[in-house]
């Protein structure tokens, strides 16, 4: 069965998120590990996590794709911001162990005026300090649209980060369809070629999750404005091909489209049908 869900508000705790997901017809979901603008995370309620894990099992939810806050920039030119990011990452990885064997996705960062090479080195350096051998979480680098000075604007930049990581098996990639489209990868005209390129540069064995989004902008726009499924420049046909593709179809698909609950439920139901 297709694993599909959306990004949920995380304010009410794990069990609430699980119930919310199920009410939308989802069997996977994403959430911010803390306020997306950063700051202190709410303490984990062990009873809540326990109840959630039982509920998730009953409802065939076996994949969580947590999302780091946007304020986490591991390659800021400001060392205090890098440190702030590292502290959040380290804390989040401890928290993730309450829900073992799940995914934690983050935006590699924006190097501002430091250059991509410096950015890549700083991101890898921090990951090497924070990843630990006992962790069960897989940390995912998200493919980015290349807005401003974002690192991860192409597959090569993600590969360059991965190459520097000591605990290789703790790392993977999350592919965002809006971002790679905006980054210039033509998943409408030639999905097959894009996946071949991903395989050649990064390796498909490192792909763990997909953010399924349409885009408000044309190919290569480097804008990062998500659109509802079928209402943007990528379109329903191409996104259907993504969820049906043999090398992607078993991954968790997370919608980050501009929707309310009814909109998410409708997109989930529609994509389930089209994936058959």
Residue 226 in contact with Fe ion, rule: CB under 5 A? no
For 75-86, what is the HEC assignment? CCCCHHHHHHHH
Residue 214 in contact with Zn ion, rule: CB under 5 A? no
Between the CA of residue 117 and those of 12, 122, 123, 155, 206, what are the distances in Å? 40, 9, 10, 14, 22
Cβ 53 to Zn ion shortest distance, Å? 29
Residue 224 in contact with Zn ion, rule: CB under 5 A? yes
Chosen from Zn ion, Fe ion, none, partner binding at 211 (C-beta under 5 to 8 Å by type): Fe ion
Euclidean distance between CA atoms 101 and 240, whole angstroms: 28
Q: Which is nearer to Zn ion, 63 or 107 (CB)?
A: 107
Packed helices 14-23 and 46-58: angle between N→C axes, nearest 10 degrees: 30
Q: Site map for Fe ion, 124-163, x if CB under 5 A?
A: ------------------x---------------------
Residues contacting residue 165 through CB under 8 Å, at least 6 positions apart: 124, 127, 128, 131, 171
- Interface pick for Fe ion out of 92, 150, 157, 176 (rule CB under 5 A): 176
- Enumerate helices (H) and strands (E) in the chain, giving the number of each: 9, 12
Residue of this chain nearest to Zn ion (CB atom): 224
Residue 211 in contact with Fe ion, rule: CB under 5 A? yes
Q: What is the DSSP letter of 143?
A: P
Q: Which is nearer to Zn ion, 92 or 224 (CB)?
A: 224
Helix (H) or strand (E) holding 139: strand 138-142
Chosen from Fe ion, Zn ion, none, partner binding at 224 (C-beta under 5 to 8 Å by type): Zn ion
Chosen from Zn ion, Fe ion, none, partner binding at 182 (C-beta under 5 to 8 Å by type): none
Residues forming contacts to Fe ion in the complex (CB under 5 A) are: 142, 176, 211
Residues forming contacts to Zn ion in the complex (CB under 5 A) are: 224
């Amino acid at each position: 069965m297709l694993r599909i869900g959306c990004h949920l508000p995380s304010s009410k705790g794990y069990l609430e998120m699980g119930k919310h997901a199920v009410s939308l017809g989802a069997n996977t979901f994403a959430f911010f590990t803390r306020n997306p603008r950063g700051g202190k995370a709410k303490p984990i309620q062990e009873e809540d996590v326990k109840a959630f894990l039982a509920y998730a099992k009953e409802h065939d939810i076996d994949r969580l794709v947590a999302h780091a806050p946007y304020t986490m920039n591991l390659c800021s030119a400001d060392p205090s911001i890098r440190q702030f990011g590292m502290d959040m990452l380290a804390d989040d990885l401890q928290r993730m162990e309450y829900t073992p064997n799940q995914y934690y996705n983050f935006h590699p960062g924006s190097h501002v005026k430091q250059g991509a090479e410096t950015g890549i080195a700083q991101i890898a350096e921090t990951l090497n300090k924070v990843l630990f051998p006992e962790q069960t979480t897989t940390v995912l680098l998200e493919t980015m649209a290349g807005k401003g000075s974002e690192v991860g604007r192409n597959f090569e930049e993600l590969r360059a980060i991965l190459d520097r990581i000591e605990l290789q098996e703790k790392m993977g990639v999350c592919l965002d369809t809006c971002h790679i489209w905006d980054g210039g990868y033509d998943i409408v005209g030639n999905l097959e070629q894009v996946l071949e390129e991903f395989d050649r540069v990064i390796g498909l064995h490192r792909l763990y999750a997909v953010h399924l989004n349409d885009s408000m902008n044309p190919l290569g726009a480097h804008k990062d404005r998500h659109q509802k499924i079928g209402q943007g420049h990528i379109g329903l046909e191409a996104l259907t091909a993504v969820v049906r593709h043999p090398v992607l179809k078993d991954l968790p698909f997370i919608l980050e489209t501009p929707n309310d609950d009814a909109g998410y439920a409708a997109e989930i139901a529609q994509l389930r049908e089209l994936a058959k």
